[in-house]
Amino acid sequence: MEVAMRDGNRTYYLSRSQPPFFALMVELLAEKRGPAVYARYRAALEQEYAYWMDLSFATQHVVRLPDGSQLNRYWDRQDTPRPESFVIDEALAARRPSATAEETKRLYRDLRSAAESGWDFSSRWFADGETLGTIMTTDLVPVDLNALLWQLERTLAIALRQGSAAERARAERLEATAEKRRAALQRACWSDRAGFFVDFELRRARPAEALTLAGVVPLFVGLATPEQATTAARTLEQRFLRPGGVVTTLRRTGEQWDAPNGWAPLQWMTIRGLQRYGHERLAQEIARRWLKLNRDVYVRTGKMMEKYNVEDLSLPAGGGEYPAQDGFGWTNGVALTLLRPPSPAAAATAAGRRRN
């Protein structure tokens, strides 16, 4: 049976999921409560994995690369305007009067699939790098999605190894699948020219040109080689580092997942990814800048925010289909964790991850 972590608590979200972070949540619990956690959540891990790897025509999450290897993409099962943004989607389609019916359906599916990614919206998905009307989400193999699925495969294999002989045999097969994914992602998504991990364009069979913080996820989960991590750290410092932390992309489009915005989850994955490979100085500098921005905005407004302008620290973040949100859960969580010195157990775990 397939069960996905849905994008929201409405029936009209049933056609899509969201990035598969559940395995990382299980790993966190296992660090605190021991290996019994894997057995408790094994069924849920299997159900989520089945959702992403379903090969039926209805889903199309799995794609074959030119070399025959398989990776995943974001894919919404519907090709109609999003109910939560119906008027916006129809207005966008109306600005393309020469589009065929099939092209309009693809536009709607690509908008929905970008929503599944969480990056709604970003120049990352745009064919011209500038405008939402050129969105091509389903033509891209996202580097972050596949790094997270690699983590899911490894976590599920750990859970299966606690079971019967048949389940241990399944764990071995899943570990082999994870290794194939790692090798495929290394071939398709590492760009020597950019010195960074990027998405892969299916239609043109080449790495995408857009540099985005999605490229830190292979470091965050430990998929990168030490050499790649060193090169990526240099790229982060030279091209992404801003006065308030690291910027989401290098393009300004007015979309919320582009410059000049920074987001707490991406700061977190960047910082922890760098620390995993021993790049402590840069990690601490990003953390320092981000926390200072959080404090300064809080002093000025009395609020923690959903996202921040990391380039001009005097201005609020913008973009998106809704007003800037106060709060905010992931901002609070990242700030509190960065402010708290690591426990001896956490430090030992981090050291072990660097060795691995």
The catalytic residue among 76, 255, 258, 306 is 306
The catalytic residue among 76, 120, 139, 144 is 120
Cα separation, 287 vs 289, whole angstroms: 6
The token duo for 230 is 């060193």
Instruction: Annotate 141-184 with DSSP letters as a single string.
Output: E-HHHHHHHHHHHHHHHHHHTTS-HHHHHHHHHHHHHHHHHHHH
120 part of the active site: yes
Phi, psi (5° rounding) for residue 63?
-130, 155
Please count the other Cβ atoms lying within 10 Å of the Cβ belonging to residue 303: 14
Give per-residue burial for 89-107: e unless 16+ CB within 10 Å, then b: beebbeeeeeeeeeebebb
306 part of the active site: yes
Q: Cα–Cα distances in Å, from 277 out to 286, 335, 351?
A: 15, 22, 9
218 and 236 in contact (C-beta within 8 Å)?
no
307 and 241 in contact (C-beta within 8 Å)?
no
DSSP conformation class of 41: T
> First and final CA of the chain: distance in angstroms?
33
Cα separation, 98 vs 103, whole angstroms: 9
Closest C-alpha among 294, 298, 272 to residue 283: 272
Active site residues: 120, 306
